[in-house]
Structure 1
Amino acid sequence: MKQPLTVAPRSVVNARVLRPSRPAALNLLAGLTLAALIAGCAVGPDYHRPTAPTGIEFKETEGWKAAQPSDDITRGAWWEIYNDPVLNRLMPQVEAANQTLAQSEAQYRQALAVLRGTRAAELPTLNGNVSATRSGNGVSSGTTTTTTGTGVGTGTGTGTGTGTGTTIINTPSSSSSIRNQFSTSLSASWEIDLWGRIRRGVEADSASVQASAANLAAARLSAQSTLARNYFQLRVMDEQKRLLEATIKVYERSLRLNENRYDVGVSARADIVQARAQLEGARAQAIDLDWQRAQLEHAIAILTGQPPSNFAIAPAPLNTALPDVPVGLPSELLERRPDIAAAERTMQAANARIGVAKAAYFPTLTLSASGGYRNSTFADWLTAPARFWSLGPALAAPLFDGGLRRAQVSQNEAAYDAQVAAYRQTVLTALGEVEDNLVQLRVLASEQVVQQRALDAARESLRLTTNQFEAGIIDFLSLVTVQTTALNNERTNLTLLGNRLTASVALIAAIGGGWDQDLAPPVKPRPQD
């Protein structure tokens, strides 16, 4: 336990009285020098990043564009490569109002405050005290008064009697003692970090701050990528809605044509029923898109920190071209992915806490001093006879703790091993995410080429079949079959485009987005209640 160090103010303390003798000063200086030399070392293992299985290159990068220093993804605003003005306006709102980010930012500020508190232990502590007390105690006592009397009685008869009586009377008395005490002092204490316990604590908390900053970046990237995916899905639904509305107009024309043909006896009643069924089915599909789009719009509102009732995105065409996403080497993920950096810094903090636990085996050296004035009368309070001072080191070490320190060291070593495994698992998961998105983009690109050929053929078949029906060569059922096939191909082509866009967003997030681990996040001021 630290002993308070007290040094009285120089204006009221006699320097000659406080100054220790020369031999004592030399001994103290020598002790401090030795302590400083010993404090240059720190117990516990020094941190080295453990190896992680990254591989030489990604397996799915065959035919993929490799990253070059000149064409890397824009740092920070990575979504700008899609050139969508609405998306560019929505993204800053995530940074400003997303509540998940606000929570992560508060946790980052909390980690900074913990670090400042740990660093405070490296400096001496100084305390001042001024007090005035008045105390008293009371003592009770009594006096005893004794009265003695004698009486003689005679009477006629045969007997004579004599009697004696004593009366005791207690008289109480009291006295009290009242005492004043005036005191002023200044104390200081400083723990010499001989074995690096405080330095290891600072190292652990510094790594925790960096891990918290990386967690904040990971939360930001997750919110941004989720917003981009939801936005592109919403735009795909806008395109499908326009497609269905155009298809409904075609089906309405077909229904009118069949009704006219039926009126003149050219077509059967079944053709009218079939045309109406086709029309109402297309209308139902268009209505079904409304709730899906509304849910995506609500999700975007929540991501941007707004109530869904006050948020709306007007329908607009999907004019976004699929960008080229440059991909580097697997080892670059260790520097680009914020979640990997967070796991690595958490592992470093766990390593430093092993040193903190091991430092508990060694004694602690505390320098303490105190000085001040103490007197029972106010007039003589700040006078030379009332002054006092003390100066000296204190060495403390636990002698027996029942294996507590050994258990704490083992606990921290196991925690470090767990963080190493978590770090390596995070790296493997990141590598898997990149491979998954690479193969998804590659397969979807090939699929869309084939799908485009199918769509072109379906459009041509629809044109020819429509001409044949209007010429009376084929029945309406044959036209309906071709129209259904063409509509399905149109919707499938749009779905593939949306999947490719969302997969490209997922790939950007998988390679770390626009995060730069060299840029510490700014600390926002705490909002006033």
Structure 2
Amino acid sequence: MTFKKILIISLFLISLPVGAKESTNRLDYMNMDWWKNYNDEVLINHFQTLYENNHDLRIAALKTKQAEENIRLAGANQLPQLGFDGSVSRVFRGPRTQFGSVVIPKYIQNEIFLPLNASYEIDIWGQNYLNRKSAKKQAEIAKQQERAAYIYITSSFAADYYNLIKMDELERNLLKIIDLQKNIVSMTEKKYNSGLASINEVLDEKQILVNFEKDLNKLKENKKILNDEAVVLLGLNTDKAIELSDYQSISSPQTPETLSTTIIQFRPDLISSEDYVKKSGIDVRVARRDFLPKFILYGNLGFNAYKWNRMFAGETFLANAGIAPRWDIFTGGIKMARYRINKYEYKKAVESYEKTVLTSIQEVNDALAEAKTTKANLIKSDEDYSIEKEKHILAEKQFSIGDSSMLDEMKSEVNLYVAKQRNIAAKIDNVISSISLYNAVGGIDYTKNNL
């Protein structure tokens, strides 16, 4: 009974995934705590849909699972191999066997061989251990690549989402401008018919109207394209417009004045690049050990009989064990070439890592500069819009006291809406620049003081 328990436990342990770890909570990759800084429940709900449906995220998750299975594959070489390799045959022998003057006549007999074969490579040099370690590093790289996919896709969707809000608001504002401009054209034509305006003034106002209408058409086109892109990211099969928050409710995180260069340590491309350097170094060590001899333990345990009714008799029991040293003396330079290939790959990995460090610093600095610029531009745009409001209030007062015409007051209102267009764009650009900075620093909350 004890032997059976030990056997069952051993088989259970062998069947467990080698090097398997607790599955990653992929929802953490979404970093919902960061996106709550935008105070937008609609965006958060969209992220839940994106997490469930996005095909790129599913592909990235499957790649991670593949890499984790490769750990099990590499770990299998560290375990003994057990198999069954039996044979049942009918042998027809001629009178070829002779002992002196005695000749054994021809005969027919069964040969039944039922063995369990076992083998185990003694990992003296640690080559199999290093292969498994290399597979673990590759799995870590795959996880970072999956995390990078989450950061990129969530950032891309958020940028599309806020651009759609911008276009929606710009469209509403532009429709008001077009209505005003149509009235301006109509009033200018009346002035022309009365001899109070030149034909050039009429044509100028019509040209302004045409340009506004062209802007509206282009805006609708871009809005449709962007909505289609957002729908694909959500993994939905629809041509309907996605739900958007109100423009007035938009908020964004504060932009820091400076960021430490150490913040790049959180970037998934830098982490995976560092892991690849380590993996390449391990592969060089594996290739170097390939020059050394290997030692394989082997053995058979089973029965060899000529009749089925004597299959498990005592005299049919068969067992053997031994050790087989193996050393490739000459392989045509394959091992040396493999070693050099891995060595050059390691050098490439080091160069790639150093380049990634510099590129990461550059991208963070560029994104921070863009965020600070859009913030400064938003402040100036607010000032510009406030000035235009004051000018329009003055225009209304002048019209109310008869110091200017209704046409002048309407042109002032158009200028006010045009300034609002610039202000809308500046506000959303500031939000999107914060998303770009989030993407550049590796998907972490850069507003925290300890960074």
Q: CA deviation at 1:311?
A: 5.4
Deviations 1:60-91 (A, max 9, x none): xxxxxxxxxxxxx9955421110112111111
Contact 2:177 2:414 in 1 (8 A): no
Structure-2 change in CA distance of 1:74 and 1:296 (3 Å): closer
Contact 2:184 / 2:407 at 8 angstroms: preserved in 1? no
Alignment partner of 1:196 is 2:126:
yes
Q: What is the SS of the residue equivalent to 1:322? A: coil
**Greater share of helix:** 2
Q: 1:495 to 1:311 in 2, by over 3 A?
A: closer
* C-alpha distance in 1 between matches for 2:30 and 2:142: 23
Match of 1:447 in 2: 377
Contact 1:129 1:184 in 2 (8 A): yes
Cα distance in 2 for residues equivalent to 1:404 and 1:284: 66
* Contact in 2 for aligned 1:340/1:427 (Cα 8 Å): yes
**Aligned match of 2:8:** none
Q: 2: CA distance between counterparts of 1:246 and 1:451? A: 20
Judge conservation of contact 2:162–2:432 (CA < 8 Å) in 1. Answer: yes
Q: Secondary structure at the match of 1:392?
A: strand
1:243 aligns with 2:187: no
Deviations 1:167-222 (A, max 9, x none): xxxxxxxx974321111111211111100101110110000000000000001110
Report the CA distance shift for 1:349/1:513 in structure 2 as closer, same or farther (over 3 A).
same
Q: How far did 1:350 drift?
A: 0.8
In 2 relative to 1, CA 363–345 (structure 1 residues): closer, same or farther, beyond 3 Å? same
Give SS of 2:308's match. Answer: coil
Q: Is the 8 A contact 2:157 2:233 kept in 1?
A: yes
- Residues 1:287 and 1:314: Cα distance change in structure 2 (over 3 Å): farther
Question: Is the aligned partner of 1:457 residue 2:387?
Answer: yes
Partner in structure 1 of residue 215 of structure 2? 285
Query: Per-residue deviation at 1:380?
Result: 2.2
CA positional deviation for 1:407 = 2.3
* From 68, 73, 79, the counterpart of 1:112: 68
Q: Which residue of 2 aligns with 1:510?
A: 440
1:268 and 1:497 map into 2 onto residues whose CA distance is 39
Q: Look up the equivalent residue of 1:369 and give its one-letter code.
A: G
Structure 2 residue ranges without an equivalent (≥5): 5-28, 96-104, 446-451
- The correspondence for 1:332, drawn from 250, 263, 278, is 263
For 1:337, give the aligned amino acid: R
Q: 1:149-164 alignment to 2 at 5 Å?
A: none
| Structure 1 residues 484-519: Cα deviation after superposition (integer angstroms, max 9, x where no partner) | 64444322222222211111001111112149xxxx
> Are 1:297 and 2:297 matched, yes or no?
no
User: Conserved in 1, the CA contact under 8 Å of 2:155 and 2:436?
Assistant: yes
Question: How much does 1:457 deviate?
Answer: 2.3
Amino acid paired to 1:95: Y
Separation in structure 2 between the aligned mates of residue 216 and residue 238 of structure 1, nearest angstrom: 33
Q: Helix, strand or coil for the counterpart of 1:233? A: helix
- Map 1:174-189 to 2 at 5 A: 177-189=107-119
- Per the alignment, residue 355 of structure 1 pairs with 285
Identity score, percent? 22
Q: Which residue of 1 aligns with 2:164?
A: 234
Separation in structure 1 between the aligned mates of residue 106 and residue 46 of structure 2, nearest angstrom: 81
Which stretch shifts more, 254-263 or 384-393?
254-263
- State the AA in 2 paired with 1:344: E
Map 1:134-153; keep pairs closer than 5 Å: 134-136=90-92
Residues 1:491 and 2:421 aligned together: yes
Q: Which moved more, 1:209-218 or 1:84-93?
A: 84-93
TM-score (norm: length of structure 1): 0.70
- Secondary structure of the residue aligned to 1:382 is coil
Question: Who wins on radius of gyration, i.e. which is larger?
Answer: 1
- Judged with a 3 Å threshold, the aligned counterparts in structure 2 of structure 1 residues 514 and 119 are, in CA distance, closer, same or farther, namely same
**So what's the TM-score if we normalise by structure 2?**
0.81
Q: 1:114 to 1:311 in 2, by over 3 A?
A: farther
Q: Note if contact 1:187-1:369 (Cα within 8 Å) is conserved in structure 2.
A: yes
* Count of residue correspondences: 408
- Cα pair 1:297 1:313 within 8 Å, conserved: no
Work out the CA distance in 1 between the residues paired with 2:41 and 2:195. 53
The one of 43, 57, 73 equivalent to 1:87 is: 43
Deviation at 1:466, TM superposition (A): 5.5
Provide the residue aligned with 1:306 in structure 2: 236
Shift of 1:406: 2.4
What CA distance in whole angstroms lies between the structure 2 residues aligned with 1:287 and 1:511?
A: 37
Q: Residue 67 of structure 2 contacts residue 139 of structure 2 at CA under 8 Å; is this kept in 1?
A: yes
Once residues 355 and 320 of structure 1 are traced to their aligned partners in structure 2, the CA distance between those partners, rounded to angstroms, is 55
Verify the 8 A CA contact 1:76 1:514 in the aligned structure 2. Answer: no
- Aligned 8 A contact 2:178 2:213 in 1: yes
Taking only aligned residues, the RMSD between alpha carbons, in angstroms, comes to 3.1
- Segments of structure 1 that go 5 or more residues without pairing to the other structure are 1-9, 12-72, 140-174, 516-529
The one-letter code of the counterpart of 2:133 is E
Q: Which amino acid aligns with 1:383?
A: A
Give the AA of the match of 1:84.
D
Q: 2: CA distance between counterparts of 1:514 and 1:97?
A: 23
Counterpart amino acid of 2:129?
A: R
- Equivalent of 1:208 in 138, 155, 158: 138
